């Protein structure tokens, strides 16, 4: 017998369910979870290498590294005395919530204050997949060109903060900083924008201070049972 079934179901419902489970787990543990998204080579791993020495004495930190192939990024992060798990997606261009749930099982401690999830380098697909994070941070490096927010609006719209990296190279590019910041704020008025150089360390302090504040807030929310 032929049958027509009307669904109206969101395509990524299964991912959203696992993301909600991850989020409940992070809330219970008081873990602030940051999902780092950028195109390849924007400097996600280098930013972490700058950030971890600032924060590792204050918080228990773990890092989940997402790459299609190789453990190179995890090897770089392992040198910073924080726990790191590598996910290899074997060709898939983004992380999804079940991958993160499996990676969590690999972490040795039950509670962390701060978890960074470095997504696969890609400005399109990672924006679609909720991992259960508290916030998305989009990185944009000045060498990529100023047109990225207009071309990839979804990721910049859903981000809580944008880090504009490689500020040391600004004099050598035609990156129009003011125009980009205006465009970003128009896409998302509540967006925090940080201009920094993960290579030289310029601007890192403001970024780390902001993360410190958010991590503290998440811990407080968890202790008072409202997280």
- In the complex, the residues that contact another protein under the rule CB under 8 A are 1-15, 92-94, 96, 124-125, 128-129, 150-151, 153-154, 183, 186-187
Is 87 within 8 Å of 67 (Cβ atoms)? yes
Kindly state the smallest distance separating residue 52's Cβ from another protein, in Å: 29
Kindly state the smallest distance separating residue 98's Cβ from another protein, in Å: 11
**Contacts of 12-16 spanning 24+ positions with Cβ under 8 A:** 12/128, 12/129, 12/130, 15/96, 15/97, 15/98, 15/129, 15/130, 16/97, 16/130
Distance CA 102, CA 200 (A): 35
Kindly state the smallest distance separating residue 11's Cβ from another protein, in Å: 5
Q: What are phi and psi of 184, to 5 degrees?
A: -60, -45
Contacts of 221 (CB under 8 A, 6+ apart): 27, 30, 227
Kindly state the smallest distance separating residue 18's Cβ from another protein, in Å: 11
If one counts every other C-beta atom within 10 angstroms of the C-beta of residue 195, the result is 19
Q: Between residues 14 and 20, which has the closer beta carbon with respect to another protein?
A: 14
Q: Between residues 89 and 143, which has the closer beta carbon with respect to another protein?
A: 89
Q: Between residues 104 and 187, which has the closer beta carbon with respect to another protein?
A: 187
If one counts every other C-beta atom within 10 angstroms of the C-beta of residue 111, the result is 12
Q: Between residues 11 and 224, which has the closer beta carbon with respect to another protein?
A: 11
Is 196 within 8 Å of 207 (Cβ atoms)? yes
Q: Between residues 8 and 171, which has the closer beta carbon with respect to another protein?
A: 8
Q: Between residues 129 and 175, which has the closer beta carbon with respect to another protein?
A: 129
Kindly state the smallest distance separating residue 37's Cβ from another protein, in Å: 13
Kindly state the smallest distance separating residue 190's Cβ from another protein, in Å: 13
Lookup: tokens for 25:
């787990």
């Amino acid at each position: 017998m032929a049958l027509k079934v009307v669904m109206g179901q969101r395509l990524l419902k299964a991912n959203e369910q696992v993301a909600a489970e991850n989020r409940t787990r992070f809330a219970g543990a008081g873990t602030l979870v940051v999902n780092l998204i950028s195109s390849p080579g924007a400097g996600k791993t280098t930013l972490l290498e700058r950030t971890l020495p600032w924060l590792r004495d204050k918080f228990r930190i773990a890092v989940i590294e997402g790459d299609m192939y190789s453990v190179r990024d995890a090897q770089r992060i392992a040198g910073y005395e924080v726990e790191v798990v590598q996910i290899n997606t074997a060709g898939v261009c983004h992380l999804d919530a079940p991958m993160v749930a499996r990676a969590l099982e690999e972490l040795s401690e039950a509670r962390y204050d701060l978890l960074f999830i470095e997504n696969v380098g890609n400005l399109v697909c990672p924006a679609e997949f909720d991992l259960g994070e508290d916030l998305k941070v989009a990185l944009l490096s000045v060498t990529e060109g100023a047109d990225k927010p207009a071309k990839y609006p979804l990721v910049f719209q859903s981000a809580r903060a944008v880090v504009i990296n490689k500020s040391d190279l600004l004099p050598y590019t035609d990156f129009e900083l003011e125009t980009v910041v205006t465009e970003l704020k128009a896409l998302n008025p509540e967006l925090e924008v940080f201009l920094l150089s993960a290579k030289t360390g310029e601007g890192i302090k403001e970024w780390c201070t902001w993360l410190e504040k958010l991590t503290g807030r998440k811990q407080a929310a968890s202790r008072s049972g409202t997280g």
